[in-house]
Amino acid sequence: MPMVKKTLAAHMAVLGRSVFTARELAAVAGRSASVVSQGLAFLARQGLAVKVAHGVWAAGSVMPSPYAVIPYILPKQRAYVSFTSALHLHGIIEQIPQVVTLASVAHTKEISINAGAFAVHHLAPSFFSGFVWRESGGFFIAEPEKALVDCLYVSAFRERRFSHFPELNFPESFSFKKAEAWAMLIKSGAAHKHVLKRLVEIKAHI
């Protein structure tokens, strides 16, 4: 067993990233998935690996940030951090959301894994844009204006979602004109009107 420990630890280092799948490690190590899973379980008991989710692991003894595991939550669909999570990361909302909110073309659903809880909200493919890569965390995140508009967009279809916000603190760089431009891309007439109306209301209260 110590030999397996050393071999898997070495191959984990070869992968070059802290989060990985058991399948990826098996491919690099040239071992079967069952053998690698047993080896990872052994490493976890030694404090050298942690189980993030089914088939997803991280090197070391500390659970990675939920943002670091986003690519593994929806491996077949692109997703980006948006809504209240993005507003918090941009400093617009001070309160830390208990659930990481993601925008995706996938169906709306909730996901709970060892690394945290996630709420995936569906966006029309034509509206799936306005995000950038955050190098420091290794994930895609909505621009501040798009994050706000994404909230209002979802609230147009599901009234209880993002209908109310905690105190909003907009930086000087925030552009309501840019937010309105995003709203103009919404194809649903009712949602389009709803978002523009809410933008006017929010701007009037700052």
pLDDT of residue 6: 53
Question: Considering the entire predicted model, what is its pTM?
Answer: 0.89
pLDDT, greater one: 123 or 206? 123
Q: Are strands 116-122 and 131-134 parallel, antiparallel or unpaired?
A: unpaired
Separation CA 195–CA 149 (nearest Å): 7
User: For domain 2-59, is the CATH number 3.40.50.970?
Assistant: no
**Residue-wise pLDDT tens digits, 16-56:** 888 999 999 999 999 998 999 999 999 999 999 999 999 99
Local structure of residue 188 (DSSP, 8 states)? -
Q: Residue holding tokens 């995003």?
A: 182
Separation CA 37–CA 26 (nearest Å): 9
pLDDT reading at 4 higher than 70: no
* DSSP per-residue string spanning 9-33: HHHHHHHTSSEEEHHHHHHHHT--H
- Per the prediction, the chain carries an average pLDDT of 91
- Residue 8 — very low, low, confident or very high, per pLDDT cuts 50/70/90? confident
What are the sequence ranges of the domains in the chain? 2-59, 66-204
pLDDT of residue 85: 97
Local structure of residue 93 (DSSP, 8 states)? B
Is the Cα dihedral 43, 49, 54, 56 positive or negative? negative
pLDDT reading at 3 higher than 50: no
